[in-house]
Chain A
């Protein structure tokens, strides 16, 4: 799946990283607990979260993630956006809640990764 397909499927608004919409992504995870995200051993490309703070971007950075989707219309502040821009991470926000967002992406072929 391409990052721009995520935008379309979730009817999301892209906040930054418009230039990376062509990236390929295969796996995703959804969580508000960053330690749970950090427990994934294999590469996760997309992070869906209802949590909005700089540590969401940091977590994505440590995990080499390509794209963060904030669910339920959450909007990151400028500090968070700057952090993501500096790390070439795409940020988007969707009005959909977490469960629906994950379901829609799963239905279109995006999968979860290994926890080991």
Chain B
């Protein structure tokens, strides 16, 4: 199998569409025959990250590269940035407004969930410029 590359633009103004990219990646991985446990890890991490693009960053871009050994994901946005990444990683830490909480997100569990489900996670963020998140899940 040659490497597969997928690209998605995530709109920042439509919460109802958040998750379309992750759903599409899920379908591709299933069709390619990846183990369901691996697929689940990838899509849960990606879904939380996609939701963050929508609720915190006004949308962004997602690039996914699929090889037999590894699924790599890069999420880029030009949102407000994260001033203190270590603090943002803490369970329960959230700056989400109440309207986001009433939608079922904003419990401050997104980044910890992403950490839990991925083998590599790196966040580059500059306040006022944006955030790039690099994620990897190994298949073996």
Contacts and interface: CB of A to CB of B under 8 A. Distances in A.
Contacts of A34: 104-105
Given A38-B47, A39-B109, A62-B40, A56 B116 contact: no
Contacts, number: 69
B26 A62 contact: yes
Given A35-B109, A62-B26, A55 B104 contact: yes
B15 interface: yes
Interface string A16-58: 0000000000000000111110110100000001010111101
Interface in A63-89: 63-64, 79
A53 to B, nearest CB: 6
Interface of A (DSSP majority class):
helix
Contacts of B12: none
Interface extent on A, as a size class?
20 to 34
B23 A58 contact: yes
A39 to B, nearest CB: 6
B103 A33 contact: no
Contact of A35 (B16, B19, B36, B113): B113
Interface in B11-44: 15-19, 22-23, 26, 36, 40, 43-44
A12 B18 CA distance: 29
Nearest to A35: B109
Given A39-B113, A56-B104, A61 B26 contact: yes
Interface of A: 32-36, 38-39, 41, 49, 51, 53-56, 58-59, 61-64, 79, 116
Interface of B: 15-19, 22-23, 26, 36, 40, 43-44, 47-48, 51, 103-105, 107-110, 112-113, 116
Given A35-B105, A54-B17, A58-B23, 18 more contacts: A32-B104, A33-B105, A33-B107, A33-B109, A35-B109, A35-B113, A38-B47, A38-B48, A39-B112, A39-B116, A54-B19, A55-B103, A56-B104, A59-B104, A61-B26, A62-B22, A62-B47, A116-B116
